[in-house]
Structure 1
Amino acid sequence: MAKILVYELNEVPWRVVDLYLQHRPEAFLHSFMKNASCLTTRTVDSGELHPWSTWPTMHRGVSNDKHEIRYINQDRSCGEASPPVWELVAASGKTVGVCGSLQSYPPMENPEALFHVPDTFAPGSETRPDRYAAFQRVNLKLTGENKAVAKGYGLKDLLDGVQLFRSGVSVKTGFRLSQHLVRERVDPKNKALRATMQAHVAFDVFLDALKQSKPNYAAVFSNHVAGMMHRYWKYSFPEDFNYSLKDSEFDRFHSQSILKAMDIFDEQLGVLEQFADREGYEIVVSSSMGQEAVERGEYVPELKLDDESLLASAFGFQGAFRMNLAMQPDVALEFLSQQKLLEFVQSLPRLTDAEGQQVLIKRYNEQGLTLNLSVRRSKAAVESGTLYLDEKPVRLDELGFSVIERDPGTGYHQPEGIWLWKGAAQPKLSGREVVDSRQYAPTILRALGVSCPDYMMAPVN
């Protein structure tokens, strides 16, 4: 049966792949695609599309209406009836390795899990084996400090090297990070690419684990191209906005930002191909959805919750909940009891802006003891620095809030992504034919010789 390496390239559509191939005629991706099956995944997930929901759909073979995983750090017991592909593979007696796949915390205890580094929003830094916990601690620290606002990773943290090098980060990557720091000082526009540097660090950790364990199934996740698409789609596809690139340093620089992110993927794909050829693996590149142009209109600065203890105290819920990592403007709360959760939900209308608009909005149904909220944008609150609790004015900082401004971005989620497969078990379909993303998991399982659960769709032929 096959052994499979998966590169989970978040949110990349074929349009970006075609742009890259057009501008990089010598890219490794050209030769890879010549002998690979090239398909288009389409998610059937309901509601606003998010990767922390569309990836579970790929991994579990059922939509979010079935697995009910809709936000980061929610209680996922709702999805126990449809486990992710790596758990099914391990349960069959075959070995697995996972690095960064979304919604993969906590690390598996199954002895067939040879390595497991959960995603960058995990509520804890545990890894399997423990040696990768040093990397995960830095990873989570940076996510927490940035609150997942697209500021990127502090190079000082990434270069605070001993603990990272012990987790498998290479000297070559350390040198790359140093070079990038120099480029930032020479040209500050390079700071916009800082977040892509994390892709080098995470891939080193994955490669170290892969070489040492060589499991039957191994997957690595990267968001570095998605981050550039969100921010700079307009400068790669100006025609989507009836925009002509200006003869300015900014426009010229960011017309290349997505391509530079894809360069990192292309190099890493080449490394995986060499390993796969040597060790007898097949390679899968997949995206659970894609991106396209988005017009956001006027940008209003945002309220960000920094200190949940101040909010809890103001509401009269001291010690009743903690805040886990989430992506701005979401807030992920975990409560000590169901009663306190329900009481807090009932209390949400107490907090408004000067125009009477509720500030904390429940986006999804609570799961277990977890609750996801979204912080409403409010010009009135930003201008006055004030919110109203029980109709009485309270300063933002007294409630644990701050005001942030960020690039509103010009790319956003759409349902179609890419799926490439190179190897003896690759699907016979090609020509970028559209397939249901729920067929991804059963197709992987079939190639590995693992029985597909009855609730899954048929594999791709």
Structure 2
Amino acid sequence: MIQKITVIETNEIPLRVFKHYQLIKPNSTISNLLDHSLVLETLAQDVEESVLYPSQTWASFNTGSRYDLHKIHWYNDPKPKDFPLYWRILADNGLNIGLVNTLHSSPAKSYADSDNYKFVIPDCFAIDSYTKPSYYKDFQAFNLKATSQNSRVSTLKAPLKEAFTTVLNLPRYGISKKTIFDSMNLVSKILSKRVAKERLRNLQFPLLADIFLKQLQKYEPDLAILFTNHVAANMHRYWYGLFDSDWDYKLYDNDWINKYSNEIIEALDLLDYYLKQLVQLSKKNNRILVLVSSMGQNANQKLPEGIQKLRTHDFRLDNVKKLVDKLTFSQFQYKVEAGMVPQYSLELSNSIEAEKCFSEIQSSIENLENISLKADLNANAITLTVTLNPNAKYYSIKGETFTYSEIGFVKFKIEDHHSGCHCPEGSLIIFNSNTSSSQTQTVDYLEYAPAILKYFGIKKPEYMLEPSFTL
């Protein structure tokens, strides 16, 4: 009988980080998985390394099609019917699917009513709070707002109404007492300044993982997917704390090292705790467990030498309308969608309006000073990638000068400078399966989706590669 599959999408974790954790903690679940699984390195080759981004690489990874075919660039870009995500192909062929937080699973209303979707909590960039079962809707509303508020720097401010409703429903959601206690303990440590507030980023994963475990055990779908970004967020900020030898110069002082050197390990500890439960479930229910990343991270060599040369503050666009009103001369109606700073997406009513708005923004880009702005258009969605010169005193648009607040930005202090940056090498770990591979180490990440389809006996589309490994 064919085994069912559980997939944990561990965003941006390269094999190097897993293996480093194994050296530090040889008795961990991660160590056990590395020793008793098919372990492959994935390679993203369809997106240029200098512009690698998870919204693009996960789209390629999970559609099995090249970026120039699917053209999904940002999180809320339209999903082309000609290059569907592999789990949609499985559902269309009668298999049962469960999804929690996997990228590009929004808008879920367009597909999740099908009986083949047993549970769906879309990604944290969803355009609405739709979930299946529907009683997770309040949790998703809280999740979306909290994600938005914790974009570049973490904050203890929370959407109170959604938070209150979420707390009342924690037992129904499947949130464990341990998760509740650990969350309260972490907040206490942050308030008393015993740990950095950026560790708040670790709070989202246990909530999602508890929900995932409850739904997984309740429905036992043929394919269940959970996505987490909490390790990636810490790697971006604290790579130097774990791998300072990657630089031939000193980036941060010892005070910074002492404060932040354990943040990545703390995030991995959290992942390891849930992997232990998933390994037990895989053995008990004879499920295949897959850990996978569409790309990885390595050392950011572009940072200047010495902490004194690193900037102390940054900007976040808090009021998109203020900026767009100054970039355009027409009055456009649009909805601001969730994105990952410094990306901000506008959804207009139709492609004609979007093209007009995009044209006006493009014409203004030529007349900016101290503002870096790039605009992307996909159907009726415009995504702005915008940053400010942190050392400038004024910002100019079409000859007029403004303060940062007059164009919708807020200023905040930072102590981290993204010492971890994106790289093409990801990871693929397949446990509890009679796997095989014709390549001993590296596979094209476009082979993943067709390998899953082949495993379930579904013919791959012509645009997909022939996989060099099997489950």
The reply to whether TM is greater than 0.5 is yes
What corresponds to 2:418 in structure 1? Answer: 409
Distance 2:379 2:96 in 1: 31
**Measured at CA, do residues 374 and 156 of structure 1 come closer, stay the same or move farther in structure 2, by a change above 3 Å?**
closer
**Measured at CA, do residues 106 and 337 of structure 1 come closer, stay the same or move farther in structure 2, by a change above 3 Å?**
closer
Please tell me whether residue 377 in structure 1 is matched to residue 388 in structure 2: yes
Please tell me whether residue 87 in structure 1 is matched to residue 99 in structure 2: no
Please tell me whether residue 109 in structure 1 is matched to residue 113 in structure 2: yes
What corresponds to 1:284 in structure 2? Answer: 290
More divergent stretch after superposition (39-48 vs 349-358): 349-358
Please tell me whether residue 296 in structure 1 is matched to residue 303 in structure 2: yes
More divergent stretch after superposition (199-208 vs 343-352): 343-352
**Measured at CA, do residues 448 and 335 of structure 1 come closer, stay the same or move farther in structure 2, by a change above 3 Å?**
same
Q: 2:245 aligns with which of 224, 231, 239?
A: 239
Q: 2:432 aligns with which of 420, 423, 429?
A: 423
More divergent stretch after superposition (272-281 vs 227-236): 272-281
What corresponds to 2:337 in structure 1? Answer: 324
Instruction: Kindly report the root-mean-square deviation, in angstroms, between the aligned alpha carbons of the 2 structures.
Output: 2.5
What corresponds to 1:67 in structure 2? Answer: 70
Cα shift at 1:104: 1.0
Q: TM-score normalized by structure 2?
A: 0.89
**Measured at CA, do residues 100 and 392 of structure 1 come closer, stay the same or move farther in structure 2, by a change above 3 Å?**
same
What corresponds to 2:451 in structure 1? Answer: 443
Distance 1:442 1:170 in 2: 36
Which amino acid counterpart does residue 31 of structure 1 have in structure 2?
Answer: N
Cα shift at 1:343: 2.7
User: What is the percent sequence identity of the aligned residues?
Assistant: 27
What corresponds to 1:458 in structure 2? Answer: 466
Once the two structures are superposed, what CA deviation does each residue of 1:53-98 show, in whole Å capped at 9, x if it has no partner?
111111111121111111121222xx22111111111111110101
What's the secondary structure of 1:446's corresponding residue?
helix
Cα shift at 1:309: 2.9
Distance 2:346 2:336 in 1: 5
Which amino acid counterpart does residue 369 of structure 1 have in structure 2?
Answer: N
**Measured at CA, do residues 213 and 248 of structure 1 come closer, stay the same or move farther in structure 2, by a change above 3 Å?**
same
What corresponds to 2:122 in structure 1? Answer: 118
More divergent stretch after superposition (61-70 vs 176-185): 176-185
Distance 1:236 1:276 in 2: 31
Cα shift at 1:454: 2.3
Which amino acid counterpart does residue 222 of structure 2 have in structure 1?
Answer: N
Contact 1:96–1:113 (8 Å) recurs in 2: yes
Which amino acid counterpart does residue 417 of structure 1 have in structure 2?
Answer: G
Kindly tell me the number of residue pairs found equivalent between the two proteins: 452
Contact 2:370–2:388 (8 Å) recurs in 1: no
What corresponds to 1:201 in structure 2? Answer: 207
What corresponds to 1:308 in structure 2? Answer: 320
Once the two structures are superposed, what CA deviation does each residue of 1:255-281 show, in whole Å capped at 9, x if it has no partner?
211111111111111100111122221
Which amino acid counterpart does residue 106 of structure 1 have in structure 2?
Answer: P
**Measured at CA, do residues 54 and 245 of structure 1 come closer, stay the same or move farther in structure 2, by a change above 3 Å?**
closer
**Measured at CA, do residues 164 and 153 of structure 1 come closer, stay the same or move farther in structure 2, by a change above 3 Å?**
farther
Which amino acid counterpart does residue 438 of structure 1 have in structure 2?
Answer: L
Once the two structures are superposed, what CA deviation does each residue of 1:361-382 show, in whole Å capped at 9, x if it has no partner?
22x4x11101112114324xx6
What corresponds to 2:45 in structure 1? Answer: 44
What's the secondary structure of 1:453's corresponding residue?
coil
Cα shift at 1:52: 0.9
Please tell me whether residue 388 in structure 1 is matched to residue 396 in structure 2: yes
Q: 2:56 aligns with which of 44, 53, 58?
A: 53
What corresponds to 1:264 in structure 2? Answer: 270
Unaligned runs of 5+ in 2: none
Unaligned runs of 5+ in 1: none
